[in-house]
Amino acid sequence: MEYRVIRSARKTLALEIKDGGVLVRAPLRASDRDIALFVERHKDWIEKHLEKAAEREKSTENVKRLTFEEINALADKAMTVIPERIRYFAPLIGVTYGRITIRNQRSKWGSCSGKGNLNFNCILMLAPPEVLDSVVVHELCHLKEMNHSAKFYAEVLRVFPTYYEQYNWLKKNGPKLMKMSWG
C-alpha cells in the first residue's frame, strides 16, 4: 500500500486520508519499519476510508462550481448573518468571543482559536439556517471546552437539542457544498 509520510515533533503516529491517498503523520524518531507496521495494522481502516473518499468524490463529480462573484456575495451575506447568530447564541452558552472571520475554506465549516476568535466558512450560507446555527453553537461551545469530550457535546445539546440532525445533514450534503467552491 502506498502512503506519504510527514515527520514532525509529534509524539504519536496518525493516519489521514487526503486527496484520495494515505498520509501518515509520524514522530521524527519513528523508523520506516514502525511506520510500515502501523500502516499494515490499520489496513482495514485505510481501505474503508479510501472507499468512502472515492464515493464522496463520485457523488460530487457533476457539481456546478460557484463563480468568484457568487462566493464574494456569500461571504458578504455571511458577514451579516453569522455575527447575528453568534450574538444570539453566545449568551445562551454563557461565553464571550473575540474576532469573527469569514473565509472560503476548503475543508472546515468553522473553528475556534484559543484566544476566542471564531472562523466560519462562507459556504454555510448555502446550508439550511438550522445547519448554520449548529455550526455556530459547536464553535461557541469550544469557548467552554476546547475538545470534543462528552462534556462538550452535553453543552452543545443543552443549547441545540437537534444538533446531530444538522450534523448528519452536513455530513451528507457538505461535500457537495465544498465542491461548489473548491472544485
Q: What is the DSSP string of 104-124?
A: --SS-SEEE-TTS-EEEEGGG
Mean of the per-residue pLDDT values of the chain: 92
* Judgement on whether residues 36 and 108 belong to the same structural domain of the protein: no
Per-residue confidence (pLDDT) for residue 20, from 0 to 100: 81
Task: Calculate mean pLDDT across residues 74-95.
Answer: 97
pTM of the model: 0.73
Per-residue confidence (pLDDT) for residue 96, from 0 to 100: 96
* Judgement on whether residues 51 and 99 belong to the same structural domain of the protein: no
Q: Domain of 95?
A: 68-182
Per-residue confidence (pLDDT) for residue 60, from 0 to 100: 58
* Judgement on whether residues 127 and 151 belong to the same structural domain of the protein: yes
Per-residue confidence (pLDDT) for residue 179, from 0 to 100: 83
Per-residue confidence (pLDDT) for residue 59, from 0 to 100: 63
* Judgement on whether residues 15 and 50 belong to the same structural domain of the protein: yes
Percent of the chain with pLDDT over 90: 77
79: region left, alpha or beta (phi > 0 left; psi from -120 to 50 alpha): alpha
Per-residue confidence (pLDDT) for residue 182, from 0 to 100: 67
Per-residue confidence (pLDDT) for residue 110, from 0 to 100: 95
Q: Is the pLDDT of residue 56 over 80?
A: no
* Judgement on whether residues 76 and 23 belong to the same structural domain of the protein: no
Q: Is the pLDDT of residue 183 over 70?
A: no
Per-residue confidence (pLDDT) for residue 154, from 0 to 100: 97
Percent of the chain with pLDDT over 70: 96
Q: Is the pLDDT of residue 27 over 70?
A: yes
The pLDDT tens digits of the residues spanning 122-155 come to 999 999 999 999 999 999 999 999 999 999 999 9
* Judgement on whether residues 51 and 84 belong to the same structural domain of the protein: no
Q: Please give the tally of structural domains in the chain.
A: 2
